[in-house]
Amino acid sequence: MGPEPAVIFQDLPDGALRVLAPAKVNLVLEVVGRRPDGYHDLEMANVTVSLYDELTLRLPGTGDPLRLTTDDPRLPAGEGNLVVKAARGLLALEGPAGTSGGGGGGISIHLRKRIPVGAGLGGGSSDAAATLLGLVRLLGLRTPPDELDRIALSVGSDVPYLMRGGGAVCRGRGEKVEPAPCPAGLPLLVAWPRVGLSTAAVYAAQTPPLTPGVGRANVLFATIRTGARGGGWGDLREQLFNRLEAPARRLCPEVGRLIDELNRMDTLGVVMSGSGSAVVALARDAGHARTIGADIGRRVSCDTFVVETVAG
């Protein structure tokens, strides 16, 4: 798996394991073309940030082999949740070693949701990645990294990247992950207009460009490395890019208004994350990010999160 993942493990006194699953933001997202399998070929510059969902994994759990609960009643707690899909994939691979629950009581997982749903921040995928890594740790499994990657991809395109996190250039569906060092602690403001967007609908509404801007992601990370020597982001304003912004604006006017208002403000650059609806504004420091958040909150109905980059 390479470097330590961006998830955070916390061993609890009762033997349970808490796993903090970070959100991701896309600083570049280019649609390179359509694929025969119905997906799109992408090129993305991804970073993980300090906005976390919280999963608590416990052995023994209930009498069931696997049980998920969540504090968000809008989320499915069964097979429709990526946490369950990830856990089932790992337990199917490991057999009795993964299902015994350390005493026949099964595995219980509680998800405390903090990353907005349908925001383009990878919350569900990060929860799935945290589940895989957490169960390996909790159960003392020795699952080969290539098997974990296979299960991760079967759950979702972003999950292989979120198994590591940090800075990365991601290609293909998102599963081809090339680490790109990005300093921890770079400040930004995430603004969410309190409405979600369907990833499938946004992709269906866009047309891949005739001449995609391949190479944007590598150029952006090179600029970040240069900027880091001065203790900041570097001059990224013209390099931030998301091909899905136009269809997201058409489908959700709130996204367009949020982007436009942030672009009128004192930021280091603004970009929509993923397929929306969250928008990211780069900041000079945490105080600047808080100022941006307070200002945009007066202009647009939205939730704001002052965060920083976290390394993988």
Domains 8-179 and 187-310 alike in fold? no
With pLDDT > 70 as the criterion, what percentage of the chain qualifies? 95
8-179 folds as Ribosomal Protein S5; domain 2 (3.30.230)
* Residues forming the active site: 24, 158
pLDDT over 60 (residue 71): yes
Residues 221-274 pLDDT 10s: 999 999 988 899 999 999 999 999 999 999 999 999 999 999 999 999 999 999
Q: What is the per-residue DSSP string for 126-141?
A: HHHHHHHHHHHHHHT-
pLDDT over 50 (residue 161): yes
Cβ-based neighbours of 211, under 8 Å, separated by 6 or more:
none
How far, CA to CA in Å, does 114 sit from each of 8, 66, 267, 282? 15, 22, 25, 21
What pLDDT does 104 receive? 46
Residues 74-101 pLDDT 10s: 899 999 999 999 999 999 998 755 554 4
| Residue in the block written with tokens 């001059």 | 235
Using pLDDT thresholds of 50, 70 and 90, give the confidence band for residue 103: very low
pLDDT over 90 (residue 286): yes
Locate the domains of the chain by residue range: 8-179, 187-310
187-310 folds as Alpha-Beta Plaits (3.30.70)
**pTM to 2 decimal places:** 0.94
Helix axes 123-139, 82-94, angle to 10 degrees: 30
CA distance 91 to 96: 8
What pLDDT does 105 receive? 57
What pLDDT does 203 receive? 95
What pLDDT does 39 receive? 86
